[in-house]
Amino acid sequence: MDFQLILDEIHAELRPRLDQAGTGAQVARYIPALARVSPRQFGIALRTCDGTTAQAGDSAVPFSIQSISKVFSLTLAIRALDEALWTRIGREPSGSPFNSLVQLETERGIPRNPFINAGAIAVADRLVSLGDANAELLALLSRLCGEPIGIDAEVAQSEADTGFRNAALANFMKGFGTLDNEVTTVLDVYFRQCAIAMTCEQMACAAGYLCRDGAHPLAGTPVLSAAQTRRVNALMLTCGTYDAAGEFAFRIGLPCKSGVGGGIVAVVPDHLSLCVWSPALDATGNSYLGRQALELFVAKTGLSVF
Ligand SMILES: NC(=O)CC[C@H](N)C(=O)O
């Protein structure tokens, strides 16, 4: 399959839609540093299991990975704790927005899954107990894509200044005993992981272990076991795009994880990993053009888990 041609076609088809007037799509406004990002950007990149790469558009422009970081923090936590992780975090889709508080009350402070904010904050707490969580995460990402990866300090500060809902989630969970560490420490780790900046090309490579039964995309060494990798992919499919996960499975049928920076990473097991980015979001907090790009990719290639 000529992936470069396919990505070029997708880019050409979507470029005229970059002016998203009238669609309601807009960049995340609740984090001031993200509100300043131009919505008129679109990038896409993929890397196959045999190392072939393809890219189009703004694929080399760094963006704020936001909730895509939750895949990699989960990977670190599963590696360290395996089954023990699941005593404090569920594995069911939430059907609610990513920053929703409501389920925590009736479910006694146990977040539905590791990909909503509450779940990722609970994962961050586990990682804080194990060591320097942000340093571990940056080291993992840098190793996975073979390039140094860093945090955008301005975005991290902006999140910390306005993260009122995340503070509410963390305090609520602390009240139920879900967090072992200080709320401020855990939130600092969480905000900084969300503020990691990467390009589509770096992300497509970094996610490569997810299409290779857990093998490192560059070195081939195990990042996760094959069974653990299946679980991460299953969670991405069922929970990776919040209350749009059903729609994503229906229309795209790939494990996906989105972030409010406008990135979406997607996995075609045994074939390839890809990343799309366009900052304007739909009402569910998923990239408006990113979703369309993934739909086009699946339509053109027939690659889907179904
Ligand atoms: N969906 C997202 O990407 C949310 C991440 C964002 N940093 C937040 O905590 O609100």
Segment 84-107 shows an average pLDDT of 90
Give the per-residue pLDDT at 289. 96
**23-37, 175-189, 202-216: range with lowest mean pLDDT:** 23-37
CATH class belonging to 3-301 = alpha beta
Quick one: which atom of ligand 1 is closest to the CA of 165?
10
Give CA separation, 77 vs 11, 85, 108, 168, in Å.
36, 7, 22, 23
What mean pLDDT, rounded, does the chain reach? 96
Give the per-residue pLDDT at 286. 95
Write phi, then psi, for 32 (nearest 5 degrees): -55, -40
d(CA 205, ligand 1 centre) in Å: 22
Categorize the per-residue pLDDT at 180 as very low, low, confident or very high, splitting at 50, 70 and 90: very high
What is the torsional sign of CA 25, 30, 34, 35? positive
Give per-residue pLDDT as tens, 11-54.
999 999 988 766 888 999 888 989 999 999 999 999 999 999 99
d(CA 253, ligand 1 centre) in Å: 23
Quick one: which atom of ligand 1 is closest to the CA of 285?
1
* Ligand 1 pocket by Cβ (under 6 Å): 66-67, 98-99, 117, 159, 166, 194, 259-260, 285
Give CA separation, 130 vs 79, 81, 126, 138, in Å.
11, 10, 7, 15
Contact 274, 204 (CB under 8 A): yes
d(CA 66, ligand 1 centre) in Å: 6
Give the per-residue pLDDT at 22. 67
Looking at the annotation, which residues are catalytic?
Answer: 67, 70, 190, 242, 260
Q: How far apart are CA 173 and CA 146, in angstroms?
A: 36
- Binding-site residues from annotation: 67, 117, 159, 166, 190, 242, 260
Largest CA distance in the chain: 53
d(CA 259, ligand 1 centre) in Å: 6
Give the per-residue pLDDT at 64. 98
Helix, coil or strand: residue 124: helix
Categorize the per-residue pLDDT at 217 as very low, low, confident or very high, splitting at 50, 70 and 90: very high
List the 43-48 sheet strands across, edge first: 53-57, 43-48, 272-277, 263-268, 256-258
Give the per-residue pLDDT at 129. 98
pTM score = 0.97
Q: How far apart are CA 93 and CA 114, in angstroms?
A: 10
Quote the percentage of the chain above a pLDDT of 70. 99
Give the per-residue pLDDT at 126. 98
Helix, coil or strand: residue 101: coil
For ligand 1, atom 4, the nearest C-alpha belongs to: 67
Best residue for ligand 1 mutational test, from 70, 115, 121, 159 (most atoms within 8 Å of Cβ)? 159
